[in-house]
Structure 1
Amino acid sequence: MKENGRILIVDDDNYVMLSIRILLEQHYTDVRGINNPLQIESAFSENHYDVVILDMNFKAGETEGRDGLRFLNQIKELSPTTSVIFITAYGEINLAIEAIKEGAFDFLVKPWQNEKLLSTVSAAFRLNRSAKEIEQLTSKQKVLNSILDAPFSDIIGESDAIKSVLSQIEKVAQTDANVLITGENGTGKELVARAIHRSSHRSQEVFLNVDMGAITETLFESELFGHVKGSFTDAKTDRTGKFEAANGGSLFLDELGNLGLPLQAKLLRVIQDQQVVPVGANDARDYNARLICATNANLSKMVNEGGFRQDLLFRINTIEIKLPALRERLEDIPLLADHFLARFKSKYGKKGLFIPDNIFKRLMKYDWPGNIRELQHTLERAVIMSDGKQLQVGDLAIGNTNQADSPQLASLNLEELEKWAIESAVKKHQGNISNAAAELGLSRGAMYRRMEKYEL
């Protein structure tokens, strides 16, 4: 099956041009040849080309290859992501190497081997596609960033606790220091990570979010570091890992506490070296991504218990930002409730709905074990279930605010509390693991691991 790609051959030797064209037309849908490099601009005005195969010399007796370098620069100005491959005589190899420094992808020596030509074009084509994918992702990120007028628009609150967090974000955002965000599930760790990114000098670059709890051990290296074609059974094409894809921007590693020790060692090596080695590759590749990590686990305690590497902890928490639980910033509940009410009124077409004072008081008496995420879900359900112009107590479904009334919570053993919370969530959502995990602020992978731990 042919690749859906455009290849342009530029060579004043019609025999060379025709030979390459016949070979490539068996593998690519659109292959064009021109024998005059002055037609390059016209060719690009009509189409975008993934790969250009370019002769180094276009004048009889010319061996310096300066024409080739000049036209390379022209192509890069017309289309920065297009991969350029030079065709050169053996004696011009030093010049070809210089061309690679100027931005060429590779070079082929005359006479070439067809297998070598096909593999070189294939590699250049894949590089072009990866570059375009990252360019599209970056473009989308810029659009999203432009929508967010205020740097901390998603972080709502006026309490001293949240003001302290905003102050830390403002300071750390001006640096490239690695940041560790800690806090209970549902406290807004990803919002803080995005706020750091939007306030940094990397704000116009990509922000990539990786849920470490959802990545299986077998796919860990492929997902984060990438792989090359043929490195394992299902590796049918090259794949760019998250570290390289986030180049120039920020990489957010969520639920870091779920990583086992062997994977921690691999992650540590990459952070220390500032390089990744894709699965199946021999050469290391540099990356330049700002690392932001998050966890709801007590990593210091895990270090003491042998469950987390101390050297990795030192690497990821140059700065640690601890997010307060919602019960520690109760004065922010009215602002948060109004924010979620406005969102869900619009979503469900209940424009006149409001929250009366007695409902605000009830919201502020509840302990919110699921934090802001639980408050959000509670307000969404309340808006859906409401019949009148104001919310009623029955619309909230947050249970008794006095936790002592629940026999399951009589014990303060953390594992028993976690087991009870998981059982309750699964029961509440009638066995729907995705919904139960979302309410608890867990990924599906993390939820299944906890269910297995407690034999649920």
Structure 2
Amino acid sequence: MVLKKTRILIIDDDADVLTAMRLLLKPLVSEVVTEKNPSNINFQIESKKFDVIILDMNFNGLINTGNEGIFWLNKIKNSSPETSVILMTAFADIDLAIRGLKEGASDFLVKPWKNKKLIDIVTSLVKKEKTKKKATKSFASISQPIVGESDAMEDVFVKIKKVGPTDANVLILGENGTGKDLIARALHDNSHRKDKPFVKVDVGSLSSSLFESELFGYKKGAFTDAREDRKGRFEAANGGTLFLDEIGNISLGQQVRLLTVLQNRQVTPIGSNESIPVDIRLICATNVEPQVLADEKKFRKDLIYRINTVDITVPPLRDRDSDILLLAKYFVSIYEEKYNKGPFEFDASFIKKLKGHAFPGNVRELQYILERAVIMTDDNELTSEDLVFSTIEKSVQTTAPQTTNLDDLEKNTILKVLEKNKGNISQSAKELGITRAALYRRLDKYEL
């Protein structure tokens, strides 16, 4: 029963080994895929999610004979770090197998193997992974994991690691659907306040009449419907973290009231003359562009300084190409369990269509279309036909340049590429298709 939904990939250039293992494991698991050519590993793990991969350590290839297993192990762990890998080795390769364990393999199997030993290893790894997933799920009810390996997300993770343990106020910027609330929660979970309350308020949706009562609380009889005392969100978050979402949408009047509380670190409930001290770590988020926040007619500069000790910009999904497939596998695995379907594999057309979409709705849009795909499909292979993109989201369109002057076009292009690559000359030159020397000449030409 433990192995019932397990999918296994076996990679070995010996057809007899593949046949023997397949015959042994097929009756026990959901699916066994065999592969003779290790060069096809990336294709296999992109198109299907495997629980266990059994990998031979020696192939008839040209890659450092005797170390092929380590080479392909690293390829697997880079593409699918959560997958358990069992290395197959001859007696003479034991030292190499031990090295493989240090490189990330889960176990190793000596040839010729004993059938019971192989089944025991696979069962143990699957049980271990299920236990780990259960632990993750119980944690996910508190804080959903952030999935991503792209350079853009790596910058976010570095900031969370550095800023999380501090009490610095943080402003999270990013488009709708990028996961700003997950970043806020991660900051809280990485702080010394993690065992204290995490209170979220969508301040952008609060009317003027509700703003003060919701944030600062009220006393019984303060107004018609105030039948009992009620703590505001500041008090509720005391000792922990207060997350004010969509703060860019609050009025100037609301900004003044919020600024007063942040300066004094105390709240006065409606209907009371007594102030209550509060100790909170403040995190705010908005989808409003930074230049709008800089406009004093729309947002007070003194409040910006209060809430923005550190800012974290969450990148849109279109800037996280390498994360799309990773996120897709993550969401599909969630919906496999939720709807008791699958396990699913992705065919080439599915992957191509997924990677070719701009995702104006970001991660939220990806999540919803994958849930729909899992619900609607009758097969265990997801194809391009299963991907139906939302008509609600507006397509992301690149703004056409206002100038047709060639020098201006070249200058603007160079500036955009340099900004994208954070001033890295080598990387920018490569992206522009010119040499470093040529790029330096153009920088000098345009006085950049």
Query: TM tier, shorter chain?
Result: 0.5 to 0.7
The within-5 A match list for 1:288-437 is: 288-304=279-295, 306-398=297-389
Q: For residues 239 and 377 of structure 2, what CA distance do their matches in structure 1 show?
A: 47
Aligned pair partner of 2:168 in 177, 185, 209 = 177
Report the counterpart of residue 270 of structure 1 in structure 2.
Answer: 261
Residue 284 of structure 1 deviates from its aligned partner by: 1.0
Residue 163 (structure 1) aligned with residue 154 (structure 2): yes
List alignment gaps of at least 5 residues for structure 2: 1-134, 402-448
Residue 181 of structure 1 deviates from its aligned partner by: 0.4
Residues 261 and 307 of structure 1 are in contact (CA less than 8 Å); yes or no, is this contact kept in structure 2?
A: yes
The within-5 A match list for 1:35-74 is: none
Report the counterpart of residue 106 of structure 2 in structure 1.
Answer: none
Q: For residues 150 and 348 of structure 1, what CA distance do their matches in structure 2 show?
A: 18
Distance 1:314 1:233, change over 3 A: same
Residues 171 and 285 of structure 2 are in contact (CA less than 8 Å); yes or no, is this contact kept in structure 1?
A: yes
Q: For residues 197 and 334 of structure 2, what CA distance do their matches in structure 1 show?
A: 27
Instruction: State the SS of the aligned residue for 1:397.
Output: coil
Residues 241 and 282 of structure 2 are in contact (CA less than 8 Å); yes or no, is this contact kept in structure 1?
A: yes
Residues 299 and 313 of structure 1 are in contact (CA less than 8 Å); yes or no, is this contact kept in structure 2?
A: no
Residue 193 (structure 1) aligned with residue 184 (structure 2): yes
Residues 199 and 241 of structure 2 are in contact (CA less than 8 Å); yes or no, is this contact kept in structure 1?
A: yes
Report the counterpart of residue 427 of structure 1 in structure 2.
Answer: none
Identity between Structure 1 and Structure 2 (%): 49
Residue 351 of structure 1 deviates from its aligned partner by: 2.3
Q: For residues 254 and 412 of structure 1, what CA distance do their matches in structure 2 show?
A: 32
What does the per-residue CA deviation read over 1:164-215, in whole Å, with 9 as the maximum and x for residues that have no partner? Answer: 1011001101110100000000111000000010111001111011011221
Q: For residues 206 and 320 of structure 1, what CA distance do their matches in structure 2 show?
A: 22
2:334 maps to amino acid: R
Residues 157 and 336 of structure 1 are in contact (CA less than 8 Å); yes or no, is this contact kept in structure 2?
A: yes
The within-5 A match list for 1:22-101 is: none
Distance 1:410 1:203, change over 3 A: closer
Residues 386 and 392 of structure 1 are in contact (CA less than 8 Å); yes or no, is this contact kept in structure 2?
A: no
Residues 179 and 320 of structure 1 are in contact (CA less than 8 Å); yes or no, is this contact kept in structure 2?
A: yes
Residues 257 and 299 of structure 1 are in contact (CA less than 8 Å); yes or no, is this contact kept in structure 2?
A: no
- Length-normalised TM-score, structure 2: 0.56
Distance 1:210 1:150, change over 3 A: closer
Residues 226 and 242 of structure 1 are in contact (CA less than 8 Å); yes or no, is this contact kept in structure 2?
A: yes
Count of residue pairs the alignment pairs up: 265
Q: For residues 384 and 199 of structure 2, what CA distance do their matches in structure 1 show?
A: 40
Residues 225 and 277 of structure 1 are in contact (CA less than 8 Å); yes or no, is this contact kept in structure 2?
A: yes
What does the per-residue CA deviation read over 1:18-75, in whole Å, with 9 as the maximum and x for residues that have no partner? Answer: xxxxxxxxxxxxxxxxxxxxxxxxxxxxxxxxxxxxxxxxxxxxxxxxxxxxxxxxxx
Q: For residues 366 and 262 of structure 1, what CA distance do their matches in structure 2 show?
A: 41
Distance 1:363 1:316, change over 3 A: same
Distance 1:252 1:150, change over 3 A: closer
- Length-normalised TM-score, structure 1: 0.55
Q: For residues 197 and 410 of structure 1, what CA distance do their matches in structure 2 show?
A: 36
Distance 1:149 1:341, change over 3 A: closer
Distance 1:191 1:410, change over 3 A: closer
Distance 1:399 1:312, change over 3 A: closer
Distance 1:216 1:321, change over 3 A: same
Instruction: State the SS of the aligned residue for 1:304.
Output: coil
Distance 1:264 1:242, change over 3 A: same
Report the counterpart of residue 219 of structure 2 in structure 1.
Answer: 228
Residue 265 of structure 1 deviates from its aligned partner by: 0.5
Instruction: State the SS of the aligned residue for 1:320.
Output: strand
Residue 304 of structure 1 deviates from its aligned partner by: 2.0
Instruction: State the SS of the aligned residue for 2:306.
Output: helix
1:202 maps to amino acid: R
What is the root-mean-square deviation in Å for CA atoms of aligned residues?
2.6
